[in-house]
């Protein structure tokens, strides 16, 4: 299967549009008592039941929005109508939609942000069920003893929603396609992302948990490579830029080998322009600059140019080779120091 075919079949689902409808309330009942030995029967119509709510809950058991693509409509049960003998109708059964942690809910019509799920177990009432109508027994008074008034149930709330998933990671790896991000994450964590030598090998963000010696850990997101125009939707586009908005730290990887045919400094500047075009806040995040593929770097000036850039920008600079292991421990501990807020640590 070629790169293009793989792109079509394995695209990461991180956005979905759905329709939700809470249950309508049941109608109030119009009834009068007709009981033996009760000479003066009165109104006995019960109230309608309440419609079921539609709620969302953040779950660790789902990690994409794919299931909403195949099932975009979700309706809760309506309330039962009221009955005679002052019997209230049964409430409609609510429904609960599981979403991944990191999902942001927007009103599709207005664009308003409704909720941002950041922790497992968080719950959000997205559509409230309609109230049941009152039966005629509710309208009886001393001067109005045989009311025929009764109310219909209120309609449940209906909404069109846009769901957007942003990964929750401490560290985002950014850089051009084939800058070595997938290989790095495979070396410093237990993640085993797909690695190949064609552009956009990474078609969905990979998460890796990096464990430190003191039993603490941090999460690294291997973000698909950025190309010029990514913020306009070129390449894999903005669908992946949003995933690094939540990270505490960016690790900007630049391939210093001659295989790219590009200048390392130009690669760095291109990616920085894309980050800034998408979000100025994103471009200002704390960042480490990493010269990758040092094992294949044969031109000393290419390495020197990116090192000078790091000094000019005041960025911590590291040289690594994920193939030979050069610099990996030092980089890992530098990331941990910044992300975990630890006292300075040194690689063993």
pLDDT digits (tens, 9 = 90+) for 170-180: 898 888 888 88
**Same structural domain, 18 and 148:** yes
Q: What's the pLDDT score for residue 348?
A: 40
Q: What's the pLDDT score for residue 205?
A: 66
Strand, helix or coil for residue 188: helix
**Same structural domain, 189 and 161:** no
Q: What's the pLDDT score for residue 226?
A: 54
Residue, of 224 and 286, whose pLDDT is higher: 286
**Same structural domain, 261 and 121:** no
Mean per-residue pLDDT, 147-173: 90
Mean per-residue pLDDT, 144-167: 92
Q: What integer best gives the mean pLDDT of the chain?
A: 83
Q: What's the pLDDT score for residue 95?
A: 97
Q: What is the CATH number of the domain that holds 320?
A: 3.40.50.300
Of 141, 165, 189, at which residue does a domain stop?
A: 165
Task: List the one residue out of 289, 250, 242, 243 whose CA is nearest residue 171.
Answer: 250
Task: Indicate whether 6 pLDDT > 50.
Answer: no
CA angle in degrees (0–180, nearest 5) for 78-80-85? 165
Give CA–CA dist 162/104, Å, rounded.
Answer: 8
**Same structural domain, 129 and 250:** no
Q: What's the pLDDT score for residue 320?
A: 96
Task: Indicate whether 192 pLDDT > 60.
Answer: no
**Same structural domain, 199 and 311:** yes
**Same structural domain, 87 and 236:** no
Note whether residue 4 is domain-resident.
Answer: no
Q: What's the pLDDT score for residue 87?
A: 94
Q: Are 127 and 78 in contact (CB under 8 A)?
A: no
Task: Indicate whether 5 pLDDT > 60.
Answer: no
Tokens of 69: 């693509």
Residue, of 331 and 145, whose pLDDT is higher: 331
Task: Indicate whether 345 pLDDT > 70.
Answer: no
Give CA–CA dist 340/171, Å, rounded.
Answer: 11
Mean per-residue pLDDT, 5-15: 42
Task: List the one residue out of 69, 139, 58 whose CA is nearest residue 99.
Answer: 58
Mean per-residue pLDDT, 283-300: 93
Of 165, 187, 206, at which residue does a domain stop?
A: 165
Task: Indicate whether 237 pLDDT > 50.
Answer: no
Of 112, 147, 165, at which residue does a domain stop?
A: 165
Q: Are 101 and 168 in contact (CB under 8 A)?
A: yes
Note whether residue 5 is domain-resident.
Answer: no
Q: What's the pLDDT score for residue 98?
A: 95
Task: Indicate whether 295 pLDDT > 60.
Answer: yes
Task: Indicate whether 195 pLDDT > 50.
Answer: no
User: Which structural domain range is residue 256 located in?
Assistant: 171-339
Q: What's the pLDDT score for residue 230?
A: 43
Helices assigned H by DSSP within 230-325:
238-241, 264-278, 280-283, 300-313
What's the pLDDT band for 4 if we cut at 50, 70, 90? very low
Q: What's the pLDDT score for residue 7?
A: 29
H/E segment holding residue 66: helix 66-70
**Same structural domain, 263 and 187:** yes
**Same structural domain, 33 and 182:** no
What's the pLDDT band for 102 if we cut at 50, 70, 90? confident
Prediction pTM value: 0.62
Number of domains in the chain: 2
Range in 114-128, 217-231, 275-289, 304-318 the model is least confident about: 217-231
**Same structural domain, 67 and 190:** no
* Percent of the chain residues past pLDDT 70, beyond the cut: 82
Q: What is the CATH number of the domain that holds 149?
A: 2.70.210.12
Q: What's the pLDDT score for residue 342?
A: 53
Task: Indicate whether 69 pLDDT > 50.
Answer: yes
């Amino acid at each position: 299967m070629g790169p293009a075919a793989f792109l079509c079949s394995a695209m990461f689902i991180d956005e979905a549009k759905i329709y939700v409808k809470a249950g309508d309330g049941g109608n109030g009942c119009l009834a009068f008592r007709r009981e033996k030995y009760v000479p003066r029967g009165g109104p006995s119509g019960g109230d309608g039941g309440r419609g079921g709510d539609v709620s969302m809950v953040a779950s660790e058991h789902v990690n994409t929005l794919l299931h909403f693509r195949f099932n975009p409509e979700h309706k809760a049960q309506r309330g039962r109508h009221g009955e005679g003998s002052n019997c209230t109708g049964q409430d409609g059964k609510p429904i609960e939609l599981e979403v991944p942690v990191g999902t942001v809910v927007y009103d599709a019509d207005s664009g308003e942000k409704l909720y941002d799920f950041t922790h497992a177990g968080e719950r959000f009432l997205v559509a409230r069920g309609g109230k049941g109508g009152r039966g005629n027994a509710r309208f009886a008074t001393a001067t109005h003893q045989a009311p025929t008034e009764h109310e219909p149930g209120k309609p449940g709330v209906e909404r069109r929603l846009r769901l957007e998933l942003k990964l929750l990671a401490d560290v985002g790896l950014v850089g051009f396609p084939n800058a070595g991000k997938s290989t790095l994450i495979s070396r410093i964590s237990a993640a085993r992302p797909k690695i190949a030598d064609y552009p956009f090998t990474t078609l969905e963000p990979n998460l890796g948990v990096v464990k430190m010696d003191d039993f603490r850990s941090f999460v690294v997101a291997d973000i698909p490579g950025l190309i010029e125009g990514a913020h306009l939707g070129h390449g894999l586009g903005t669908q992946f830029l949003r995933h690094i908005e939540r990270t505490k730290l960016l690790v900007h990887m630049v391939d210093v080998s001659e295989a790219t045919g590009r200048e390392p400094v130009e690669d760095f500047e291109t990616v920085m322009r894309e980050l800034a075009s998408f979000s100025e806040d994103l471009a200002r995040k704390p960042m480490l600059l990493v010269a990758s593929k040092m094992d294949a770097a044969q031109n000393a000036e290419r390495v020197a140019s990116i090192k000078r850039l790091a000094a000019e920008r005041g960025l911590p600079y590291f040289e690594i080779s994920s193939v030979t292991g050069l610099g990996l421990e030092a980089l890992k501990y530098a990331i941990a120091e910044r992300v975990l807020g630890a006292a300075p640590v040194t690689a063993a």
